[in-house]
Structure 1
């Protein structure tokens, strides 16, 4: 028997193997997501229903919206650690505006979005003007907001009939029109928070991936000095990223407040970690190995599917963060490991 290998066959096989590895690298997150859906569907048939799919999307809408803001800060070479605190403060601010200040839905939304813009400008001032490292600046903002949101109510959650620190009683109530933001559905099928998530994703995807402005954002994160020498307004680009991130976090807080109908002091506890996880998983989507809005949305859905499935299987709550972390590590390790073998 002739055991010699045909060199032409080897030449043909190598590109094929490389193509398979490249396909695996690009699709590893989708393969893991498909595997999760299959496993959960087999173990719990109720998982694979339209109602549960909409429930998952509604649950991840806020995380996805906040995560896209984090993604933009990653694109300029930064990182916004304050988004969870901004969202939580926005929940409290929205409830305070309606229940204590007796404002309507439109005024409340405008006030909270303005609050997000102000926080973003404050972060931009620290980072861009005062040259404070982004992690230190946004961490400081996080602690500042975490404490500030508790002061007006002396640490109490905000609901109708709230007793204020001076002993008076709040007379306002949550506007039903405001509640519709978090509880209504389009055509009784598509929840409004999911629609907002889709709109934000489309706008930011086009902005970051299809415009010159988006290319400048990534150029700033890749090589700030070269981008500045090329004439780009680097400071404005970085400032824009942090203003956008805080504004989207405020929008996420509005949706949470509209969904729960009160100002819960613990409402934003997990938003930072989940939004960061979605952004990091986005690095592995399609093997891009860079922040990208589409990947962040997929990452948010990935986390949502995982948590929803674990909940339906009655997995202990104290194991969920560990499992989520293990799956995240696996997705990133596979993506970067496969890429290393292709070099």
Structure 2
């Protein structure tokens, strides 16, 4: 018996260490990477570079929070990248082709992007297609719609239209400011704060978590699960559309499938968010931390002149190591 007590007392500190790592492993990863890159590159901690990192993660964070919202109800939206591409094409075309003002173009673009959420909800809630398969299908549909709408090319000021005429519309200066510092950073932080408070402190947020935890129990308790699932996909499409609008503002044009490259980083950031503070559930603050990890890693590797073709290897290994530290359970 004394041996058992001794073994138990000896394992207690180790259990506490693993418990601490499981809660704060991702934050420690961010701190470690900043320290390593700060030592390896004298310019990494330069304020201008820090601002550049924040600007680079803003779009990913906004899109990833949309993915996190879909995860709260036990879903998974893979169409966010294509929705961002569609928003990118729509908002620029409304300026260049149709002469819309900033507010009208943004609102119309967001409204049209929310139709993607309704389409996803139709497939998932009404037709009962599994979330991943349904949104994978809509990924290709929306990507095709965006490419067809833009005639398979870029949309820019003074472009030649398929009819042979010259596009006469211009991109307003006010719209261009949305994608610049500090506005884009404030938008990212605002979306993060609103999402975090909405999910953690409101009745609707707790109901969404309940649906994600046990949909049948949530339904039997009187929660209208179908409505909340529809709402989750509408929010995911809305935020993906906002991400596409910020991308359009940042680059000043519409590029073919411009939002597609954000999908995997957004998904990674959303899943990393599960581990923050041991929450074990999707949350906006954790998603922000996940995006920071990806942004710091990408920026640091560039500053160290790591070949672009090796970056994904290093990024994958670092993320796998960080997740291992976070999710490993001591027994």
The reply to whether residue 39 of structure 1 matches residue 36 of structure 2 is yes
- What is the CA distance between 1:215 and its match in structure 2? 1.3
Q: How much is the aligned-residue C-alpha RMSD, in angstroms?
A: 1.7
Counterpart among 173, 198, 201 of residue 210 in structure 1: 201
The reply to whether residue 241 of structure 1 matches residue 238 of structure 2 is no
State the match for 1:188 in structure 2. Answer: none
Normalised TM-score (structure 1): 0.92
Counterpart among 116, 120, 135 of residue 113 in structure 2: 116
The reply to whether residue 222 of structure 1 matches residue 213 of structure 2 is yes
State the match for 1:201 in structure 2. Answer: 192
**For 1:11 and 1:317, how far apart are their aligned partners in 2?**
48
Counterpart among 146, 149, 163 of residue 146 in structure 2: 149
The reply to whether residue 181 of structure 1 matches residue 169 of structure 2 is no
Alignment of 1:134-173 (within 5 A): 134-173=131-170
- What is the CA distance between 1:178 and its match in structure 2? 0.8
Counterpart among 53, 78, 83 of residue 86 in structure 1: 83
State the number of aligned residues.
330
- What is the CA distance between 1:12 and its match in structure 2? 4.7
**For 1:9 and 1:156, how far apart are their aligned partners in 2?**
70
State the match for 1:97 in structure 2. Answer: 94
Q: Which moved more, 1:71-80 or 1:113-122?
A: 113-122
- Residue aligned with 2:149, SS: coil
The reply to whether residue 308 of structure 1 matches residue 304 of structure 2 is no
Counterpart among 234, 242, 263 of residue 272 in structure 1: 263
Normalised TM-score (structure 2): 0.95
The reply to whether residue 231 of structure 1 matches residue 222 of structure 2 is yes
- What is the CA distance between 1:9 and its match in structure 2? 6.5
The reply to whether residue 17 of structure 1 matches residue 17 of structure 2 is no
Deviations 1:180-213 (CA, angstroms, capped at 9, x unpaired): 1112x4xxxxx11110111111111111111221
**For 2:132 and 2:3, how far apart are their aligned partners in 1?**
56
- What is the CA distance between 1:153 and its match in structure 2? 3.4
- What is the CA distance between 1:7 and its match in structure 2? 7.9
- Residue aligned with 1:45, SS: coil
Deviations 1:126-174 (CA, angstroms, capped at 9, x unpaired): 1111212111211121111111112233211011122222222211111
Q: Answer whether contact 1:77 1:221 (CA < 8 A) is retained.
A: yes
Q: Answer whether contact 1:208 1:215 (CA < 8 A) is retained.
A: yes
State the match for 1:294 in structure 2. Answer: 285
- Residue aligned with 1:150, SS: helix
**For 1:172 and 1:11, how far apart are their aligned partners in 2?**
73
Q: Answer whether contact 2:87 2:109 (CA < 8 A) is retained.
A: yes
Pair 1:282–1:86, CA change in 2 (3 A): same
**For 2:197 and 2:204, how far apart are their aligned partners in 1?**
10
- What is the CA distance between 1:230 and its match in structure 2? 0.3
State the match for 2:326 in structure 1. Answer: 335
- What is the CA distance between 1:283 and its match in structure 2? 2.1
- Residue aligned with 1:149, SS: helix
- What is the CA distance between 1:63 and its match in structure 2? 0.4
Q: Answer whether contact 1:281 1:331 (CA < 8 A) is retained.
A: no
- What is the CA distance between 1:286 and its match in structure 2? 2.3
- Residue aligned with 2:260, SS: coil
Gaps of 5+ in 1: 186-190
Q: Answer whether contact 1:84 1:272 (CA < 8 A) is retained.
A: yes
